[in-house]
Every structure is written in structure tokens, then in C-alpha cells.
Amino acid sequence: MQIKQKMPVIAKLLHEAKRVLFITGAGISADSGLPTYRGIGGLYESKDTESGIPIEIALSGITMRNNPDLCWKYIAQIEAAGRNATFNDGHALLAQFERLLPKAWLLTQNVDGFHQAAGSKNLIEIHGNLRWIHCTMCHDRIPFEPTGEITCTPRCVHCSGVMRPEVVLFGEALPTTAIDTLQQEYTKGFDCVISIGTSSQFPYIAGPVFESAHRGLTTVEINPEETPVSAVVDFRLAMPATQALQHLMECYLHLRA
């Protein structure tokens, strides 16, 4: 089935659904000018960083504790890549779907905060949000709004402790609140799960797709690249996120007219 033929079918299934889960990765923010971290146009597409270590080590909880300067070097690169960016039409369309559908939730592994800025309310930021930092000693919490290049590790103005972003670094546990919310909502059931712009490398990102496919529920993947879930979804749309969501919204609104 061609993509143009798939769109009305997916829109009809969305129209009939009572509960929908959208899952997003870096691909949804690509149209905002943010690079993905791996894959086509990835910020860390090569195996190792310029420091000669994998990005998964540089951006790990162990490195933040033992060598915060190294960890902040790469946090600064991610922050700089998105400093002047904002949410795009893809984020806005997902917020619109939330308003139109009976019940929709959004699970994102992104830390850019764009979904919240676009108006999504039923939002699970499973990896946290880069827009806040807190002190690792006194736990003072402040907005993270640098206006220039980050050249050194931010320090707490109260105790000089190392500041860190409120994001999940590699090797760290996921936030309990986010996990509990995801489990509660997934227990209630979803008629349709749509994965958008994620490499689906993490089990908690790919898991809902695999489980829904196993249960015979509607599954959709929007991604120019193939991923571990590509072979199991009912509908695969090999195209950029915003473009696919625009076509899907047009078909959906036509059904509601």
C-alpha cells in the first residue's frame, strides 16, 4: 500500500480510537533545526566523540559525577544546537491531535521542551527537560537560560556545588513520576500507538509498539529510517515527521467535517 493510500486508513483508525499514544524522538524536532543524535544528520553520528570516547560515556551519570567538565562539554553542544530554536508544526499538530481526540497521551524521549511549548498537556518527558538545572549539593533549582557559549561547568551561587540539567544521563534511572504515569495510562489501554522520529533503541520507547502489535492493536511508525519496530507495525510511513503529520491531520479533519 502506497503512503497516499495509507493516510486515510490511519486517519479513520484515529477517528475511531478512544485512546491514542504518540511516541516521539529527535526526528520530530528536526524541522526546528535540531540535529538527531544518531543516524542521518546526527550530532554524534560517528562512533566516538572528539574526545575519543562514545557519547554514551561522555553524557553519563558516572561522568557527571567524576568529570563534570567533560560531561558539560557535550551538554553545552546539545544546548547550543537548539538555543535559538522553537517548536515546529509537527509539535503543534500533535498538540492539536490531543485536543481533537477523545484521549491522547504523548511520550517523548526529547529534552528540548518543545512539546510543552507547543501546548501538549498529557505529556510524559521520560528523559526530563533541559530547561532546568539544579545543584548536586544543595539542590537549588533554577531555569537554564544561557545567553552565550558555555565554557565551564555551571556552579551553584549558594554553595558552589556542580549544577546539572534535569535530564536523564546514560546509566541513570528514569524519573519515577514519568514511569508511574506511563504505566498507569498504558494499563488503561490504547487503541492506537504511533511512533514518530525515534530510533526505538530504548525498551521503554519500543516496548509499547511491540506489545500493541502483539495484541493486534493499531501501530504506526513515522520515520525515514528503518528501526527495530519497522517490521512489526501495521503502517510504516517512511517520511519526515512534520510532513506525515500534516497529511494525517488533513485526512482526519476531512473525516470530522
In the three-class reduction of DSSP (H, G, I as helix; E, B as strand; rest coil), residue 220 is classed as strand
Query: Is 127 one of the catalytic residues?
Result: yes
Mean per-residue pLDDT over the chain, rounded: 91
Enumerate residues 6+ apart whose C-beta is below 8 A from 111. Answer: 78, 125, 127, 128, 129, 130, 165, 167
- How does pLDDT run across 109-142, given as a tens digit for each residue? 999 999 999 999 999 999 999 989 999 999 999 9
Q: Say if pTM beats, i.e. exceeds, 0.85.
A: yes
- The yes-or-no verdict on residue 208 having pLDDT over 90 is yes
- How does pLDDT run across 8-19, given as a tens digit for each residue? 999 999 999 999
Catalytic residue among 127, 134, 214, 254: 127
CA–CA separation, 68 and 71 (whole Å): 5
Q: Cell triple for residue 235? A: 503502517
- How does pLDDT run across 18-74, given as a tens digit for each residue? 999 999 999 999 888 876 554 434 445 555 667 788 888 999 999 999 999 999 998
CA–CA separation, 58 and 235 (whole Å): 36
- How does pLDDT run across 218-247, given as a tens digit for each residue? 999 999 999 999 999 999 999 999 999 999
| Cβ proximity of 237 and 221 under 8 Å | yes
